[in-house]
Amino acid sequence: MAGGRHSARTTRDGRSTRVVVLVGVAVVAFAAAGVGVVRALAGGCDTVEQYSLAVAPSIEPAVSSVLSGGADTRCYEFTVDAAEPGDVAGLLGKGIDAPDLWIPDARWWASRAAPTAAGPVQMIAGAVASTPAVLVGPPGQVPEVPTWRAALAIPDLVLGNPLRTGVAAAPIRAALAETQDDPVAVGTVRTAMVPLAQQESIRTEEAPSGADLLAAAGADDAVGISTEQQVLAFSEANESALETRVPANGSILLEYPVVVTSPVPDRHHRATDAARVLVDVLGTEDALEVLHDEGFRGPDGEPLPEGRGIGGVPLLSLRDEAMAEEALGAWSLMALPIRTLVAIDVSGSMQFPAGDGTRMDLTVRAALAGNAMFPDSVSAGLWAFSQNLGGEGQDYVELVPIRRYDTDVDGRTQREVMAAQAEKVPGLVGGGTGLYDTTLAAFRAVQRSYDPRAVNSVIVLTDGANEDPDSITEAQLLDILAREQDPARPVIVVTIGITEDADARTLAEISRVTSGSSYVARDPADIANVFVNALADRGER
């Protein structure tokens, strides 16, 4: 019953051996040949078409078992690879190496991925399997809670990354579902998310998921977020006792859909027919038996047979998908650490008087203040730029490569290296402003080294307009930035104009095409505050 204690030790019967076609551990080029292939029963087929199928890691064993167990896939073959849904969504945004078909761990991934996908994202079946979200931990460690809002406030909750897995997003969605008719209560869900997101921002590696999350919760005597299926599979594979609960008001169901994702129009059309065959195969009684054996419920969400799992519980439903998108957008702003490349103008005009010093003096003070106040999870690098500063035709020099502030660099931290190099910047002052070429080079440098677990940005500080006659034009710069911006690897350019002499209009346009922000410090005394705001800028993600 809802809110009660449930055992995860019931053993499976029937199919105890599975044939794994391919167990993937990372996102790969799904169209590549040479991976595990489920052969079609090709009798009567003039040709056999092969399609790549990305599946959530939790359901990969079941899907592979069904497809390799003699299922009639007609004139189609499927290469099966396990990949977390958030990783697949990133590939869809690039349109390169994207899978033809996709079974994520929740149906909402289709609507989440569609706006930034390079091609159509078409859901063929809303669910071929399902499983409810649960709270899990060592026996005696899982508290009784009335709601999912209360669950989010459990101390040291092991949540995972809701931008990468549907399981981690489930409690947030459940909390929104239970508050969706009360705007004030909805606001409290975001409040509950803050400490969880901030904890995520200081991680140095990806948050655990699946069996890794369950192992972490068990080892630390902590409470984690999982599903009925994952707990059953983990407990039976590891012969460990885990306690599961759901809040008193119920759970939310994760439904595994079949989605067509090929970005190539003709192939997408053909893949749709293959997807329908896949849905038919996974909907047979034999397939349902395999899914049950692996701990999955059927598409209808009915409890597992023979008393396995948590039994019947009330199921919550979120009516407005926009609420979840807004919440996950807020999470991305709160959770993703900052990764930025700071480019400081060292043209001759930076020596002009400003306040109690020069423009450069105030800029360096601002950089040092920002460098000192942000957490170790920030990654930053430093460039200086003026016309031909890096040699003929190159307007910039790298002073410090991008590294986390707590990285050891020859006995000093990156933070200390940044401070030391910033203090040397005034010695480089001279020449004209090489704004356009430097901005483009910095954008490309950050994009090449993109970190998907951070907000990736460039911060440009300058006091004047572009003065390099041999550089690209403003129009060319804006066009290239717009064309090269990759939804799967977004890089924002934050611009800071120093005093009224800055080309505020152009700086604003540069920021606009990259979804960044533009600031102008008209009063020299404002430079420090403006720089700190820019360093914290996370754009319009």
The full set of domains in the chain, from first to last, is 6-332 (3.40.190), 336-536 (3.40.50.410)
Tokens of 455: 């907000």
**Is pLDDT at 9 greater than 50 in this prediction?**
no
Indicate the pTM of the whole model: 0.68
Cα 536 from Cα 338, distance rounded (Å): 7
Adjacent-strand bridge partners of 6: 244
Q: 224 has which bridge partners?
A: 136, 158
Question: CA 413 to CA 423: how far, in whole Å?
Answer: 16
What is the percent of the chain with per-residue pLDDT over 90, rounded to a whole number? 71
Please give the structure tokens belonging to residue 273.
Answer: 């027919």
Q: What is the pLDDT of residues 151-196, one digit of tens each?
A: 999 999 999 999 999 999 999 999 999 999 999 899 889 889 988 9
Q: Where are the alpha helices (DSSP H) in 425-473?
A: 435-448
C-alpha dihedral (510, 514, 516, 518), degrees to nearest 10? 10
Pick the residue with more confidence: 325 or 16? 325
- Encoded amino acid at 353, one letter: P
Return the pLDDT at 374. Answer: 78
Note whether 53 and 257 are within 8 A (CB).
Answer: no
Rounded to an integer, what is the distance from CA 394 to the centroid of its chain? 34
CA atoms 400, 401, 406, 409: torsion sign? negative
The kind and range of the H/E element at 263 are none
pLDDT at 37: 53
- Residue 388: is its pLDDT beyond 90? yes
Task: Write down the mean pLDDT value for the chain.
Answer: 89
Q: Give the per-residue pLDDT at 540.
A: 57
Span 426-445, pLDDT tens digits: 999 999 999 999 999 999 99
| Lookup: tokens for 423 | 């203090």
Tokens of 390: 């890096």
Quick one: pLDDT at residue 471?
A: 96
pLDDT band at 43 (very low <50, low <70, confident <90, very high): low
Contact 218, 138 (CB under 8 A): yes
Q: pLDDT tens digit string along 282-301?
A: 999 999 999 999 999 999 99
pLDDT for the residue numbered 530:
80
* pLDDT band at residue 79 using 50, 70 and 90 as cut-offs: very high
How far apart are the C-alpha atoms of 496 and 460, rounded to whole Å?
6
Q: What is the DSSP string of 196-232?
A: HHHHHHT-SSPPP-HHHHHHHHHHTT--EEEEHHHHH
- DSSP string of 134-197? EEEESTT-S---SSHHHHHTSTT-B---TTT-HHHHHHHHHHHHHHTT-HHHHHHHHHHHHHHH
Q: For residue 373, what pLDDT is reported? A: 79
Question: Tokens for 141?
Answer: 């460690």
Taking residues 263-277, report their average pLDDT.
97
Kindly give, in sequence order, each residue whose CB lies less than 8 Å from that of residue 437, ignoring residues fewer than 6 positions away. 394, 395, 396, 468, 471, 472
Q: Which residues pair with 144 in a beta bridge?
A: none
Q: How far apart are the first and last CA of the chain?
A: 40
Asked if 415 contacts 408 with a C-beta cutoff of 8 angstroms, the reply is no
Work out the average pLDDT over 329-358. 90
User: Which pLDDT value is given to residue 38?
Assistant: 54
Residue type, 280: D
Phi-psi region of 221 (alpha: psi -120 to 50; beta: other; left: phi over 0): left
Confidence of residue 379 (pLDDT cuts 50, 70, 90): very high
Write the pLDDT tens digit of every residue in 224-254: 999 999 999 999 998 878 999 999 999 999 9
Calpha distance 247→250 (Å, rounded): 6
Q: Above 50 in pLDDT, residue 4?
A: no
The pLDDT of residue 428 = 97
Residues constituting the chain: 541
Interval 92-123: pLDDT, tens: 988 889 999 999 999 999 999 998 888 999 99
The CA-atom distances, in angstroms, between 487 and each of 36, 93, 118, 162, 452 are 30, 6, 9, 18, 11
Token duo for residue 212: 């890794």
Runs of H (alpha helix) within 257-358? 265-282, 285-293, 321-335
Strand partners, 411: none
Question: How far is the C-alpha of 94 from the C-alpha of 117, rounded, in Å?
Answer: 7
Whole-number pLDDT of residue 131: 99
CA angle (198 as vertex; 339, 461 as ends), nearest 5:
30
How far is residue 105's CA from residue 82's CA, in Å, rounded to a whole number?
11
